[in-house]
Amino acid sequence: MKLKIISLYAILCVIWGTTWIVLKISLNEGTPPIFGVAIRFIIAAIILWGILFFRKEKLPMSKIAWSLYLQFAIFNFVISYSLTYISTQFVFSSVSSVMWAGFPLVVALISHFILADENLTFSKIGTILIGTTGAFILLSESSGLGGNNVPLGIAGLALAVLVAAWPNVYLKKHHKVLSTVQLNVVSQTIAGILLMIISFIFEADMTMNWSHYNIFAIGYLTVFGTVITWLIYVWLFSHLTMPQISYVAFFPPVIATTLGWIFLGEVLSLSAIIGGTMIVSGAVLIHWINPSKS
């Protein structure tokens, strides 16, 4: 596998791994969840429009292109991100990231029925199950899991993962239709507008706390957690298989759990360390048995 692919893959995992603790602290400091994700996408969209203009790219307007725009905007960005922000209020930051470790299993199952060259084999199932088992060990060992309404938080995160899976598989099938910038600029613009309207309606009694940390959090989650990561993520669709791409979800929980333990006092037990090791091992194995053809 080329060094560029591995390097960008690693950067993506590290950034997404750090976003969980930044998000959790920001929510604790008074960021309304829907408003937080809305302003994140609006600012990101403005940056992406600048990139699109600089690169002089024209936006495809075909039926498939608009299907991709809308699926990512509504399912990935509006519904899935909203559920993740809201649910993270009720659980540890590490638990949120670990719940997202179930993403590869859902994606692999859908890919099996949609993508001709992504059939499930025993080796693929085995590596995914190794990572998934490790994720559940982490989850079971997250002492206390959080504050009130933990079951609600976990249910919301599980739904967020399910909702986000389909657009990713559909994108893999039609990844040549749009560039990374084209997909993200339109999808995030639509999502930002819709989310701001939803926030205006349902969070009218909530006030944004414009603390120094929250300003930093918005900047970090926008530039690093949204613009950079999503550009890398969509670019990887042209260079990796679907299981390899979806395994991005397995590395951030290890980082997030460690940071949550250090900075937020979220307990990291021996079993949690074992679970994290299984996650990384599964990710390494799936690359070894099913290397990219790029």
The pLDDT score that the predictor gives to residue 294 is: 41
| Residue pair 115/169 in contact by the 8 Å Cβ criterion | yes
CA distance linking residue 273 with residue 261, whole number of Å: 11
What's the pLDDT score for residue 228? 95
Token readout for 221 is: 């989650």
Regions in the chain scoring below 50 on pLDDT: 143, 291-294
Is-above-0.75 flag for pTM?
yes
Q: Answer whether 68's CB lies under 8 Å from 234's CB.
A: no
Any idea which residue has 């060259």 for tokens? 117
Task: Give the model's pLDDT for residue 198.
Answer: 97
* Domains in the chain: boundaries: 3-289
CA separation, residue 158 to residues 64, 100, 102, 110, 140 (Å): 28, 8, 8, 16, 15
The pLDDT assigned to 293 comes to: 44
Q: What is the pLDDT of residues 170-210, one digit of tens each?
A: 888 888 899 989 999 999 999 999 999 999 999 999 999 99
The one-letter code for the residue type at 70 is L
